[in-house]
Structure 1
Amino acid sequence: MKHPVYINSISSISPLGTSREEIWNNYKTNQHFIEKHDFTGREAFAARLSSKQTAEIEDLRNSESRFKGLDKSVLYSIFSARMALKEAGWDKGDSIGINIGSSRGATQLFEKHHAEFIKKGKVEVLASPSTTLGNVSSWVAQDLRVSGPDISHSVTCSTGLHAVLNGVVWLQSGFANKFMVGGSEAALTPFTIAQMKAMKIYATKDLKYPCQALNMEKDHNSMVLGEAAGVACISNNAEKSIAKITGIGYATEELKHSVSISANGKCFQKSMKMAIGDLAMSEIDAVVMHAPGTIKGDEAEINAIKAIFGNELPALTSNKWKIGHTFGASGILSMELAILMLQQNEFIPVPFSAISKAPKKLENILVNAVGFGGNAVSILLSKIK
């Protein structure tokens, strides 16, 4: 990187809450937000928004007539972007770029329209525009009346961190001064849950912690889905920043299987090396791992970390045991956890994992994400001193 990129704010909506204080307080407990829910007569574990948050999203939907036909993934993005803009102190109408992605996009709305087509043989007039992936960023741009570029994309589960990569490149190139980056996912639908179950990766055991992310002794896959959105305001301006991006890395590896990466996490090794750059390995205090809770997924990432760091591993953690895997939003929520740990100077461990111990300091934290397709992203975050 030519120079650091500064994070001026980060906001999210997830089962952890919406305010910075609420989210941090929920991280400090051993409570998780995963429960069994009914998906059209079939039970499955999932991490849903609270009833209070659901009501807030419905209030947003009903606040303007043009919002009524939007998918939840778009509404989550608008909600988070409004908070991020306010926290950053940026103004509506500014020249701000937007890149907010989603792995699945308008999942619920698409399934609704498809069900109607199967039943009636026709669809509503706005079925197509309301389910395009471009809605995620374009509606945020419309709501905030910004004049910069707006981009939506899907790079599966690394979507959120790919948005960060893209925003950083725009800022480093000088083509933009401010960017909003993030990810949104509202994919808790019967069809999506069935897809995950079909791959034999979904949690089925009714344990105290259904998602066993970073339990390296587990004998079963335990991925659980959650819903969330997160948006960060990034710029070249260090004033009022909460953290800084000091390294970015990315890589794609050749796949032997369509839904898994290599046993040694080759793409992770490449992305982490690129993000760390010339910094000494000993300067990396912690890694917020992707760690989906699957046996092979967790092992591959751990093997990659061991290959990079050797015997002196940084502290390792993940938040998926607490809020599930939020697909395209997951990397942004991991980044939010890293920023909170830097700000509070406190490490949040995984309560049932013995793989890591608290670090002596928290100044540089690596955040990882990877998605179907073997695409990994690593972002190095550093404390503002």
Structure 2
Amino acid sequence: MVLLSGKAISTLKQIYMIWRWGGQAVSVAALSENLKHEVEALKHSEHKYIHLDDSVLYAILASRKAIEQAGWGNDSTFGINIGSSRGATGLFENNHSEFISTGKTNVHTSPATTLGNISSWVAHDLNSSGPDISHSITCSTSLHAILNGIAWLNAGMADKFLAGGSEAPLTPFTIAQMKAMKIYSSGGDEYPNRAGDLSKTKNTLVLGEGAGITCIEVGKAENALAYISGYGYATELLSHGVSLSAEAECLQKSMKMAIGDTPLHEIDAIVMHAPGTIKGDNAEFTAIQKIFGANLPQLTTNKWKTGHTFGTSGILSVELGVLMLQHQTFIGLPFSGEPHTKPASLKKILVNAVGFGGNAVSLLITK
């Protein structure tokens, strides 16, 4: 059994959600002043950090907090897998703009914008001697990072693994990409992202950014936050690059694998991926119905609050599940229009993530 150890899900959530409202960018919930100061202080703490993208700085800060809380400070042998859907988006866009206007770019452009940049800099910052891995599997990236960590642990190739995701996609070109697909929120609502609202008549995806890191080990420990008692993964055949089948077949398979022999009635809640799009939210709900029938667990998501943080989103969903287990409180959607039936207790929560390319991951976390 894999555990999420020692108060070790550390999140640095920019939650600076932007959408177009009258042609202006509107801030919903900006990074706190303390965290802004921490990011700036880190950026100027060493000359070489000045050239790093926010996605790397977020990952470093969140990783520092995670190993401190987990008590890993004196151990340098842990592995690292921190992924990102987009990587150094801000730096890449700025450097490309400079190249278009001048025909030149600076010497730091290539090393500072590679995807492996994130885990490598975290390993450097933490003085880790274990393996460091970066990858992109779009919006299921951070849960795939946990899967990778579990694989290394189960293979006996590592005793501890730092896993998660980091994303800083609040850039003009990235937002333009979402708008081109006609999935971005137009605002004008108390909740511009109505993730999980199956009655919505328009797409309401809103971007957020941040990092989420967790420390995982094998076995049981007194300081464990929760246990990963099941995990599943699947990829479905696609008709085009961003499609998800109407019944989200990949999520059906990943949920079945994660649930395993656990009786369905023992699943108390599901933290949905639910990006806030009509097709995406409804496909996932249909997949859940296919698995659970009429006896659905409580369903929720956090993207109405955090925005969609791409590769970080899965680990932030795990955080929500862990918090609900810790506090024995189901956190529902504010706009569902129906009172939430609170389970007598929360013991088992399923967490979903799925990204472009039909790559789904499900984790069953238990108290």
| TM-score tier after normalising by the smaller chain length | over 0.9
Conserved? CA contact 1:158–1:376, under 8 Å:
yes
Cα-to-partner distance string for 1:98-149 (whole Å, 9 max, x where unaligned)? 0000000000000111000001001001110010000110100001111110
Matched, 1:312 2:311: no
Secondary structure at the aligned position of 1:225 is classed as: coil
Partners of 1:267 and 1:376 within 8 A in 2: yes
Change (3 A) 1:42 1:194: farther
Q: Secondary structure at the match of 2:163?
A: strand
Is 2:209 aligned against 1:227? yes
Moved more, 162-171 or 84-93: 84-93
In the superposition, relative to structure 1, how do residues 114 and 98 fare at CA in structure 2: closer, same or farther (>3 Å)? same
Residue 145 of structure 2 corresponds to which residue in structure 1? 163
What CA distance in whole angstroms lies between the structure 2 residues aligned with 1:313 and 1:93?
43
- Conserved? CA contact 2:19–2:206, under 8 Å: no
After superposition, the CA RMSD in angstroms is 1.7
> What are the superposed Cα offsets for residues 161-186 of structure 1, whole Å, 9 maximum, x if unpaired?
00011101111111110000000000
* CA apart distance, 1:205: 3.1
The residue that corresponds to 1:60 in the other structure is 42
Residue identity opposite 1:139 in structure 2: W
- What does residue 82 of structure 2 align with? 100
3-state DSSP of counterpart to 1:249: strand
Q: Which runs of 5+ in 1 are unaligned?
A: 17-32
Query: What residue number does 2:331 align with?
Result: 348
Q: 1:184 aligns with which of 134, 142, 166?
A: 166
* Paired letter, 1:128: S
Q: Equivalents in 2 of 1:177, 1:284: separation in Å?
A: 29
Gaps of 5+ in 2: none
TM-score scaled by structure 2?
Answer: 0.95
Q: Does 1:110 align with 2:92?
A: yes
Paired with 1:134 and 1:109, the residues of 2 have a C-alpha distance of 14
Q: 1-side partners of 2:231 and 2:245: how far apart?
A: 21
The farther-off stretch of 166-175 and 78-87 is 166-175
- Over 4 Å off, 4+ runs: 33-39, 44-48
Report the secondary structure of 1:221's partner residue: coil
Matches within 5 A, 1:71-220: 71-220=53-202
Residue 253 in structure 1 maps to residue 236 in structure 2: yes
Normalised by the length of structure 1, the TM-score is 0.91
Q: Structure 1 CA distance, aligned partners of 2:308 and 2:354?
A: 12
Counterpart Cα distance in 2 of 1:246 and 1:214:
25
1:342-373 deviation per Cα after TM superposition (whole angstroms, max 9, x unaligned): 01111100011147633232000000000000
**Aligned 8 A contact 2:19 2:184 in 1:** no
- In 2, the alpha carbon distance for the partners of 1:195 and 1:47 equals 22
> CA separation of 1:47/1:108 partners in 2, compared to 1, >3 Å: closer, same or farther?
farther
Shift of 1:34: 4.3
Decide whether the 8 Å contact of 1:35 with 1:47 is kept in 2. no
CA shift in 2, pair 1:288/1:295, >3 Å: same
Structure 2 counterpart of 1:298, from 276, 281, 305: 281
Whole-angstrom distance in 2 between the partners of 1:237 and 1:66: 38
2:13 aligns with 14
CA deviation string 1:193-246 (max 9, x = no partner): 000000000000310000011111100000000011000000014221110100
Which residue of structure 2 lines up, in the alignment, with residue 369 of structure 1?
353
> How many residues were matched structurally?
363
Percent identity (aligned)? 58
